[in-house]
Structure 1
Amino acid sequence: MIKAAVFDVGETLIDETRIWCRWADRLDIPRFAFLGVIGGMAATGRPLTDAFELVRPGLDLEAEQSAWAAEEPESLRNNFDGDDLYPDVRRALSELRRRGITVIIAGNQPPQAKSALERLRLPVDAVYTSAEWDLEKPDPKFFTRVIEVAGVEPEEIAYVGDRVDNDVVPVVAAGMVPVLIRRGPWGYLTAELPEAAQARIIDGLDELPDLLSPA
């Protein structure tokens, strides 16, 4: 019996299309080209940061982000707001809570993401980020923290995410139930990997309530 559902953020709750398009504009790269390179990182198992190195060799990403913030302090830049939520998010999270399932957000996110998520006023019981824990998936310690904050047994926790490497393999190792959502480049691509068979695979969050708490 699932008592807690824990959610990744990017391409699980948040559609990152606008973020990457703004980055493409910032780097003066055609949007389609940059999105294609990001897809290539997903297809080849390379880290996302390699996409920046490919299109702008030698780019100091941290310095670029700081410069961007200084030039456009009021813009979203590489952040998100309510317009970036997938349309099924509020509906599905509300229904999970209505059925008595604790709903928690815990994903790999930079420091500013926690306040951005809290401003969305989502129907959740708690929000955590890798930045505040100083731990990142797939580190097993990240999932130990997930179990601690959920306050139930590992097998009573479903972790929902879009990546096999971050959201399925280490979730199984921690004794939790992985749910892989097929959206975003990693979601579609990694759903085809053999390791994905360890997860329950969904195409949208509206499938979750009946999957985790059958009527």
Structure 2
Amino acid sequence: MSYSGKIVWNKVKMVVFDVDGTLYEQSKLRKKMLFALLGYYALRPWRLGEMRLLQRFRREREKHPAYAGPDVENAQYAWCAEGTSYPVAKIKRVVQQWIFDYPNQYLSDCTYPGVKEFFNALRVNHIKIGVYSDYKAHDKLRAMGLQADAVVASTDPEIDRLKPDPKGLLYLADLMRVAPEECLFIGDRPELDGACAERANMPYLIVEKQPFNSFNFYDNLTKLLTTDLKPTTTTYESDIYAS
């Protein structure tokens, strides 16, 4: 269920985060990456096809929502290679360089304001932190200075499912020994993250679209969490409105 009303924080045992577009602003990162790519390939015009290859990789992945394995990790490269002259090995190399490795140096600058403080508030209040990403996320989290109790990706062999298939969320809940309804999933795409949570019977929030310099989604969550969980004889509930 989407939170269109109230979150009772003392019933939340784990918060699960998507990564891309949820913990950092993708548009800001993409601008930095565009300059980097143009600068790199301007000096190597004979390799401009690799830029189109990156676009194709993302596009082909988007064409397979809820895809169920086996071996999603390698299937995503096979989709990209189909109908082209590019070998899978080259696609993997280019994707690794420009999607998984190079952008990490910019992530700290693109991390949404308030994310670290919200992570800290969750830890102080003994709420577990999970991450369920479309792509492998350990290096991204490290680049943002964030730590989670459990991290899974759609391409992990234990999952082998793309969103909105709910297996990743259900796997995390089982791994951390909490019920799906005791979790809160935070994502940025209703058609994928929201649908994924609904299929898992897990409450969720969609990150509000705000200008980066005035982004206060996580600051507001931190304030409401810390207010609701103050030692008191009264039960408080916080109003959170999903986008």
Q: Report the TM-score when normalising by structure 1.
A: 0.63
Does residue 5 of the first structure (1) align with residue 32 of the second (2)?
no
**TM superposition shift of 1:117:** 1.6
Separation in 2 of the partners of 1:65 and 1:22?
Answer: 22
Secondary structure of 2:155's partner? helix
Secondary structure of 1:104's partner? strand
Separation in 2 of the partners of 1:149 and 1:16?
Answer: 29
Which one-letter code corresponds to 2:18 in the other structure?
A: D
Q: 2:26 pairs with 16, 32, 41, which one?
A: 16
Give the share of equivalent positions with the same residue, in percent.
26
Q: Which residue in 2 is equivalent to 1:150? A: 176
Q: 2:93 pairs with 66, 75, 98, which one?
A: 66
Q: Which residue in 2 is equivalent to 1:97? A: 123
Which one-letter code corresponds to 2:15 in the other structure?
A: A
Q: Which residue in 1 is equivalent to 2:7? A: none
**TM superposition shift of 1:143:** 2.4
Q: Does structure 2 retain, via aligned residues, the 8 Å contact 1:150–1:157? A: no
Residues 176-191 of structure 1: pairs in structure 2 closer than 5 A = 176-183=202-209
Unaligned runs of 5+ in 1: 29-46, 51-57, 186-201
Larger CA deviation: 167-176 vs 202-211: 202-211
Q: 1:127 pairs with 130, 134, 151, which one?
A: 151
Instruction: Please identify runs of 4+ aligned residues in structure 1 that moved more than 6 A.
Output: none
Inter-CA distance 140–128: structure 2 relative to 1 (3 Å threshold): closer
Q: Which residue in 2 is equivalent to 1:139? A: 165
Tell me how large the CA RMSD over aligned residues is.
3.8
Inter-CA distance 68–122: structure 2 relative to 1 (3 Å threshold): closer
Which of the pair has the greater relative contact order for Cα pairs under 8 Å at 6+ separation? 2
Which one-letter code corresponds to 1:128 in the other structure?
A: V
Q: Does structure 2 retain, via aligned residues, the 8 Å contact 1:5–1:103? A: yes
Which one-letter code corresponds to 2:19 in the other structure?
A: V
Does residue 118 of the first structure (1) align with residue 128 of the second (2)?
no
Which one-letter code corresponds to 2:24 in the other structure?
A: I
Cα distance per residue 1:94-119 (max 9 Å; x no partner): 1111112111111111x4x3223235
**TM superposition shift of 1:78:** 7.6
Inter-CA distance 203–82: structure 2 relative to 1 (3 Å threshold): closer
Separation in 1 of the partners of 2:14 and 2:28?
Answer: 30
Q: Does structure 1 retain, via aligned residues, the 8 Å contact 2:132–2:153? A: yes
Larger CA deviation: 87-96 vs 128-137: 128-137
Separation in 2 of the partners of 1:18 and 1:65?
Answer: 25
Separation in 2 of the partners of 1:140 and 1:151?
Answer: 16
**TM superposition shift of 1:158:** 0.3
Q: Report the TM-score when normalising by structure 2.
A: 0.57
Unaligned runs of 5+ in 2: 1-10, 40-56, 61-83, 230-243
Give the paired residue count.
172
